Amino acid sequence: MRRGPLRKALATVGHRVTILGFTAFAIFPFYWMLITTFKQNSDLYVGASNTAHNPFIFNQPPTLLHLKTLFQNTLYLTWLFNTLWVGAIVVLITLVLAVPAAYSLARLTGRWGERLSIGIFLTYLVPSTLLFIPFSRLVALLGLQNHLGALVLIYPTFTVPFCTWLLMGFFKTLPKEVEESAMVDGCSRLGAIGRVVLPLAMPGLLTVVIFALTLTIQEFVYSLTFISSVERMTVSVGVPVALVRGDVYYWGSLMAACLITSAPLAIIYNLFLDRFIAGFTVGAIR
């Protein structure tokens, strides 16, 4: 059955329209953040019932005022710093726990290791919305309320299972001969891991660093639950909780903060997407 040229052209048009429609849906909120960031207040707060005022374009010259407010008059930079500080320690803890565990599951545990690795991955599915209540007891008991230490303690509960799973997959792709030959040359197993396996696993380790960091930056529920002082907040909570002030309109700076935080994450995610998806689809694709 051959398609006529007309049908082919129609199919192409349909395809382009589909792609355009989905792309527009995906990026519209980001476009909205961008234009809001640079609009003057008198251009922003007109009211949607005024049909003569097109909100999609700049009706007045763009301004840098909202950006200035964000960086000079809010704690945005403090929140960014807090987030990265927590992120760095969480990444470190994640590596220390997940790398040995993943290697062990990939090479040293035999049959029961497979079952165990699935069990570890399932803990990733225990939601924060079930755990925040017992954690609030634990945090109170340890005196960590309103302390970033609470987040450092708790965030590895989702980074460790996911990263162990990802890394285990990565170690399994390395041929066993790699460390066997090093061991024949007189290395111990641990020496072979340190000298041969880890350097080869660098791309996997980098993926884990990136994901532990991005999961930390994205986390909202625990940070909302355990941090109450404005100057100790992380960026994902500080912006929605502390920048929204009652009836005072702050949308320009607010949208600037959302956009500036989201854009780098989007770029990083794209670079590491394939490995991320591989972590979820194990066993379903062959």
Partner 1 sequence: MDAAEAGPTATFLKPADTLSPRDRRLGKWLLAPALAYIFLLVALPFLLALFLSLTNSSAGSLDFSFVGLQNFRSVVTNPVFLRALRNTFVFTFVSQFLVIMLGNILARALLEQFRGKLLVRFLILMPWAAPISLATLGWLWIFDSTFSVINWLLKVAGWLGPGQWYYWLGDPALGMVAIITVHVWRLLPFSTVILLAGLTSIPAEVHEAADIDGAGPLAKTFQITIPMMLPILSVAVLFGTVFTFTDMNVVYLLTRGGPYNSTHVLASLAYQEGVLGGDVGRGASIAIFLLPLLVAMAIVMLRRSRRAEVA
Query: Encoding tokens for residue 34?
Result: 């961008």
Residue 208's nearest CA partner among 216, 218, 220 is 216
Could you say which residues in the range 220-259 bind partner 1, by CB under 8 A? 220-221, 224-225, 235-237, 239-240, 251, 254-255, 257-258
CA distances from 212 to 82, 142, 162, 215, 278 (A): 15, 24, 9, 5, 16
Q: CB count, 10 Å around CB of 29?
A: 13
Q: Is 118 in the site for partner 1 (CB under 8 A)?
A: yes
Beta bridge partners of 245: 248
Q: Is 84 in the site for partner 1 (CB under 8 A)?
A: no
Q: How many residues bind partner 1 (CB under 8 A)?
A: 113
Residue 121's nearest CA partner among 260, 3, 278 is 278
Pairwise CA distance, residues 80 & 256, whole Å: 14
Could you say which residues in the range 150-169 bind partner 1, by CB under 8 A? 153-154, 156-157, 160-161, 164, 168-169
User: Whole-number minimum distance, CB 220 to partner 1, in Å?
Assistant: 4
Q: Is 274 in the site for partner 1 (CB under 8 A)?
A: yes
User: Whole-number minimum distance, CB 255 to partner 1, in Å?
Assistant: 7
Q: Is 144 in the site for partner 1 (CB under 8 A)?
A: no
Q: Is 120 in the site for partner 1 (CB under 8 A)?
A: yes
User: Whole-number minimum distance, CB 231 to partner 1, in Å?
Assistant: 18
Pairwise CA distance, residues 155 & 91, whole Å: 10
Could you say which residues in the range 30-59 bind partner 1, by CB under 8 A? 30, 32-33, 36, 44-49, 51, 55-56
